Amino acid sequence: MSKNKQIMSINYLQWLELQQYQPRTIDTLMSFKRHLESYLNEQRFKVERESLQRYSEWVLSLGYSSKYEHQLHWGLKHYVYYLEQIHGVEIELYLPRLCADSAVRPALDKAELKRVSNWLLRPHKDYWLRQSLWSLFYGGGLRRSELLGLQLPDLRIKERQLKVRTSKSGKTRLIPISSLQLKSLSNYIQLERPAARAGFEMVLFLGRRGGKATSLIGKELVVWQEETGLGTKFTWHALRHSIATELVQKGMSIEQVSQFLGHENISSTSRYLHAENYHKTTRNEL
């Protein structure tokens, strides 16, 4: 095999290794590639400018943190550069403008949270699914990836606890759950959870076809944004900001909030707090 053909046969993983990236960086970039491929395969798109533009805009609709959005775009740029250098694919990459890394997504105020909770009371075929999402994204302060990673055994009914795998560090933490949170999750599992496909039997939240719930959670976000009238101000991550701010308002120490959110250091937690803009309120018990 000629040298040129050898170069052309290098896959993305091999190319990253040749760039001498650290193993952790390679794992991250490969996960971003899989994230992109999952979207393209589901939509039956090819790797081209228009499909990558749609992917980028779809990412913005999912409610990720601004930091994670920047990381995904960083990963996309690397992958496109690989395609250009190794496979000669010419793509004029379009990426939507993102907020600065230092920008903080706004927490929802008292009136906005009330608007969401009132909307959730309306009858719907996915009533318990939505109550569960509310109870975990808001009441539990979970990240989107943490919710998607939940397993059925993680719900400890007797102890009234939920075992959460922190997506960024791989560590686990236990968060308390109220009787109403437990009711929402139990009813979702018994009444609305689809039949699981092979390999997904233990996954807590399932998509419509019994597999990954990634697309379902993304579509649900769009519905919540439209039905509550909050638009893109409402994201799953905004709920995480909201509960963090509220807990501090109620007297919880920043160290306790940091542990509750699964942060490794307090400096990360401080970016979540919006006490100066948050109207002190008594949250409806979940």
Given the residues 55, 79, 138, 272, the one annotated as active site: 272
Q: Which residues contact 134 (CB under 8 A, 6 or more apart)?
A: 116, 117, 120, 184, 239, 286
Given the residues 168, 183, 197, 283, the one annotated as active site: 168
Rounded CA-CA distance 126/191 in Å is 9
On whether the CB atoms of residues 192 and 129 are closer than 8 A, the answer is yes
Q: 47 burial class (0-12, 13-18, 19+ CB within 10 angstroms)? A: middle
* Number of residues that make up the chain: 286
Given the residues 144, 240, 241, 274, the one annotated as active site: 240
Given the residues 143, 193, 241, 274, the one annotated as active site: 143
Helix (H, G, I), strand (E, B) or coil at 164: strand
272 labelled catalytic: yes
DSSP, res 139: S
143 labelled catalytic: yes
Helix (H, G, I), strand (E, B) or coil at 81: helix
Where does residue 262 fall: left (phi above 0), alpha (psi -120 to 50 degrees), or beta otherwise?
Answer: left
Tell the residue number behind the tokens 């759950």, with chain if given.
Answer: 177
The token duo for 219 is 């579509």
279 labelled catalytic: no
250 labelled catalytic: no
Alpha-carbon distance values, 131 to 118, 189, 224 (Å): 11, 12, 12
Helix (H, G, I), strand (E, B) or coil at 4: helix
Given the residues 78, 144, 237, 241, the one annotated as active site: 237
Question: Catalytic residue positions?
Answer: 143, 168, 237, 240, 263, 272
